[in-house]
Structure 1
């Protein structure tokens, strides 16, 4: 009898885990594929890891998305956001700026926010730049797995924003890892509001 109850309990717990994962991950995936940008005052590009003094694949995909939006006239300015991590040779924002300038964006159209270490700080500090510059609306650019949490945080901070999901890296392991990470972060945000 005890063995039967243990098996039944394990199945029940497994079902709860599966339902929880689905409830968290499905909206992340859906928003990451369905969100469309709205013409705005600025584009906020959220930072990601550097490889030496170059953008990582994930960050390059974000920057290329921002370039496309800028050239299509979605916004006349870009805010690049990200501090220098302990294992990085420069701030993410400075490397992002260099990349965008090399691709033809006028330097005066790029605002550098290099004090933030996480998404909440990225958006809070970018909001301060928006206020200083009189920008009212933003397009948030990050990879598809990160857009839902970014938009939820922007809403909590009172930023009027749409999203423009950049593609994920062409690497199944990295993509699965990013979605799992975002699922945990989103669950923490929904449960603990942080």
Structure 2
């Protein structure tokens, strides 16, 4: 084998080993994320935070967002927390997600004074930052995050970066075909937050 061919072979071999290693790590990480997200940590906490999602053009929460909100109603009624923070921004449809979420919860019987709005939760990290400030005002130490199962690990990481020690989670009871894309996206997103 010529020197050039040998170097080419070594390069290809190392490249394939790297690709295989990354794929194995992706599988391990994704398995952990799914298991973590599907195993709710239901403990009494000071406050819950529901992460925003799409509001439909008719002004109603999307099915994903309804599932998150319905989970918060179920757990509020179960006595797990006295306050709910609804966190979202202005979506491309032009609606204030937090405002729509609050209205939905009020319609479900949650007293309006028990709902706190975060209108600047444009991403998970901003939600964690804003929730931390609201929790300081409420003199709260523990939080339960309510979102899609694939999102739980990353949002808990974001909250711990805000030095909130007691972070628990519950997942919305909805599964969609688009979860495949979301699960894949969570892999780089988690490490972006980890090294932020």
TM-score by length of 2: 0.88
- What residue is the counterpart of 1:64 in the other structure? 70
Q: 1:54 aligns with which of 51, 60, 79?
A: 60
**Structure 1 segments of 4+ aligned residues over 6 angstroms from their partners:** none
- What residue is the counterpart of 1:90 in the other structure? 95
User: How many Å apart are 1:4 and its aligned residue?
Assistant: 5.4
Equivalence map 1:138-153=2 (5 Å): 138-153=143-158
Aligned residues: 189
Change (3 A) 1:189 1:24: farther
- What residue is the counterpart of 1:127 in the other structure? 132
**Equivalents in 2 of 1:187, 1:35: separation in Å?**
22
- Which segments of 5 or more consecutive residues in structure 2 lack a partner in the other structure? none
**Equivalents in 2 of 1:131, 1:4: separation in Å?**
59
TM-score by length of 1: 0.89
**Equivalents in 1 of 2:68, 2:157: separation in Å?**
19
Deviations 1:63-118, CA, capped at 9 Å, x for gaps: 11101100101011111011113x13221100100111111111111111101211
Secondary structure of the 1:177 match is helix
8 Å CA contact 1:24–1:187 kept in 2: the answer is: no
Which structure would you say has the larger Rg?
2
**Equivalents in 2 of 1:137, 1:14: separation in Å?**
40
2:152 aligned with 1:156: no
**Equivalents in 1 of 2:36, 2:54: separation in Å?**
23
2:184 aligned with 1:180: yes
Secondary structure of the 1:50 match is coil
**Equivalents in 2 of 1:22, 1:128: separation in Å?**
36
CA RMSD of aligned residues (A): 1.8
Change (3 A) 1:168 1:14: farther
User: How many Å apart are 1:7 and its aligned residue?
Assistant: 5.7
**Equivalents in 1 of 2:35, 2:22: separation in Å?**
20
User: How many Å apart are 1:129 and its aligned residue?
Assistant: 1.1
User: How many Å apart are 1:49 and its aligned residue?
Assistant: 1.7
User: How many Å apart are 1:25 and its aligned residue?
Assistant: 1.0
**Equivalents in 1 of 2:10, 2:141: separation in Å?**
58
- What residue is the counterpart of 1:20 in the other structure? 25
User: How many Å apart are 1:44 and its aligned residue?
Assistant: 0.6
User: How many Å apart are 1:167 and its aligned residue?
Assistant: 2.8
Change (3 A) 1:67 1:6: same
2:123 aligned with 1:118: yes
